[in-house]
A and B are shown apart, each in its own frame.
Chain A
Amino acid sequence: MESFRGRGLKETLDWPLIICYLLLVFIGWINIYASVQSAEPASIFDFATRSGKQFVWMATAFALAVVILFVISPQVYESFSLPIYLATIVLLVAVIFLGVEVKGSRSWFEFGPVRFQPAEISKISTSLMLATVMSQYGYKIGNARNFILTAAIILLPMAIIVAQSETGSALVYVGFIFMLYREGLSGWLLFMIGVAILLFILTLTLSPYYSILVLAAIVTLCDSAFPGKMKKWFLGVLPALAVLAALPWGQERLVAITHAPGDSFLAELKLEYILAGMCLCAIPYMAVKAFRERSRFLWLSIAAFLAGILLVFSVDFIFHDVLQDHQRKRIEVLLGLKDDPSGVGYNVNQSMIAIGSGGFLGKGFLKGTQTTYGFVPEQSTDFIFCTIGEEWGFAGSAFVILLYAFLIWRIMHDAEKSRENFTRIYGYCVASCIFMHLFINIGMTIGIMPVIGIPLPFVSYGGSSLWAFTVMLFIFIALVRHERRYFG
């Protein structure tokens, strides 16, 4: 039968991707079992325990995957993406009023024993919507109208999720920028976001002064590198910046030598304002230059520089007045500004000790002590990676991470090979989401990201998350299969 309708399962299904998925789900399951393991072991199928429940979620997730692969026609997604997207938005708003409150955020619906989070579905529906819109004939991301529409599709669910106080889940949507980049968004935008994050961190950890200095260095370097005048930058600008970098030290010494009192003009002098003032004076000169040379790049770099300075001076405000208390604390702990080993730092410290104590080969299955003694919080959900790190060591955790890397790489690979714009864009959306979850979740357990409570895809305990990622991935596999059946 199959041969009449196209090629067989063996050729059309992306088996490496499916095997990778099954491996991750299975690894998740045994680690959930290990993480709630106590001295008297229960069966892994005991439905009173989390591993038993996870088994039910797994079985249903597999059933969902089969339905997506063999029952639902893949053409459905493109034609129904708008109603699906709108329905999700309605759910997202409804949950704020009708949902149950879990840890200070209203983002869960509860039906008897089953809880689910609309934010999980919204990743899928947003991806489908984006794929539909962006694969239209004549769509160009450089076109302002198209760009605004795309941004709105992403920002609308994001804003509602922030309103549910689930900032962590909203952060995942930032990952769509990678997809947008693939689809033609300027690389400079990614670069500027990177610089903005760097400035934010520098301002908090060092001082606004150095932050402005680094900003000036980056902007002038770009300005010089663009027309290829690197030599001039190294000889002229770099020494000047080096001198300026030594200025705060000079001020400190001067105050010490002259024994100026703490409130004197010299000690109170805020160097960053002087520096910012100097830079602002230089801007008219640059503007004249830009005008003469008719250099669009120079104009843009001036604008970027001004935006950068604005950011540096508003960091304090953003940090203290915009962010919520617990979010601020998490960032402070991450950047080492405040030591808080009993509160937020406690989780991270415990998580790192658990992972660190694993060593190269780990303590062995069910032999982990840190996780089973209950030191690590949320050990089967957000901090599941601790159990992997402790019991399977560097070898095991590297294996898991490489599995993810392969999964993401494979999705990108398939997406690139696809002839359908819809499939390619959707594929990149899936890859971006999985990547964001992976990097934020594991980054949090090893102390390179602030504590943001989002699950590790396929591995963390929880039906809502497992189902959502399974559906998301298998829609992609089904799209690829559909195409492969008829084309080589």
Chain B
Amino acid sequence: MRIFNSGAGSTRAGLRITGLVAIGLASVLVVAGCTDNSQSTSSTSAADKTLVIDKSFDLKTSDPARAFELTGSIVDKAIYETVLDFDGSDVTKVQPGIATFEENADNTVLTLTMTGTHTFSDGSPVTADDIVFSLQRVQGIAGNPSFLLDGVTVAKTSDTTVTLTSATSNPALPFILPNPSLGILNSKVLMANGGTTGADDQAEAFLNKTSAGSGPYQLESYDVTTKVAFALNPNYAGDKPAYGRVVLENVEGPTQKINVQAGSTQIALDLNADQVQGMDSSVKITKNASPYLIYSWYNQDPAVSGGVTDNADFVKAVRQGIDYSKLLSIAGEGSTQPGGMVPSMFLGAIESDPANVFDLDKAKASLAASGYSGQPVTFSYPNDITVNGLQMQTPAEAIQSQLKDVGITLTLAPSPISTFLDAFRAGTLQSGIMYWGPDYPDPADYLVFNPGESLGKRAGWAAGSDPTVTAAADAAAAASGDDARKTAYEAWQNAANASGPFIPVIQPGQYAVSTSEITQLDLNPVWTVDIADIK
């Protein structure tokens, strides 16, 4: 300033320039003043603040009994309470939610006792009937999350207690119950809108418009392709969340990076290692080991396999032909290769398995033994989603190139996630790459990757087709006590790696990038983020 002033008055031109500079400075100050004002007003009324979160959507529905996608879990966690809960990112200890729990000695009967007051968004109290209705509805609809309560009988025993009786020992049940898909719904409102506890339930459309829950937020607007907006639930019984309005936007990774750097969004959830590297210091990077597992499958159903992917030697050749270390370098810092299907941070995870080691010569030998004669194998993957910021197309192209060196011809078949999921769930895809997010932090969650189980069937792995793996899986499911379970799960994964159709490929690193405004952000393996906990 002073430099300009000292020069002023020397000439007319100088005067004019000084005048211009003065006007410029004045206008900048005025604008700055305005910005300051608006910021201070927004921070004074904390509850009215809007939180914008960017997420690459894989959303199909917000009906908890049907939703089973990562984005669906974020949405349902915000609008529904569960009977049990986890605190922050710690998933090793189950916390009380709507209820506390007790288990009998052989882990077959779990008793839930309701605690405190919990109220739905319409002001009515949460009752034991609502718990029974909601859990039975998940079972009755038989949607994607229904397997969570397979073999469990839900019964009301008093106005405040509900028992969950399992046919066999079910030590994982307390870890299952905090899953957002088991959120408690307002049974009266739901029944008035077509909700039942059977397959004839018609309430999905209603739940995609209105949330009938007791969680900290309720749905303000909902669009599976663009954004989901949340408003405070005025009747929420717990502590009021820091943000009065939350918008979850469907934004792809690269745009998320720009948004969070510009401050137009506070949290970006899908940045990958490459994108995080170039961030400036104004943002905070939360790094965690990711519980998401990217796996490759080879269909065992003779009607789908084309006579190729159901050949044990062919799958073996693929296992030995994938250059895992190269995939890790592509996925970036923080990623790991899981030894089996159980992610590295859970009980029973194995560090490595001799079956899943890159060895080009062995792979070629296995391929020769399989009798494969170069016919193209269709390799499907969803091309519009990212797993922790990693595009599925990237590992797919890398695997295609690596297997080409072995002599296997993969034809890549990308499709949008909704189309992909329908075909995948029908078990009609010959091979491909997909991810699995844990439903509850327990290795029992990974028993679905077994013959005749939900994920096993997607790979055409029929019940009874692999007695060795089935026996190992049964032993793992029945084991009790941490040490016994650990050993049993390790044995099961070794067996599955030896003859199964699933190849654990990569666990990408997990990054969340937030602006300096955010002081608390916990990444949880089950629901990614609890929106109400963000401060």
Same complex: no
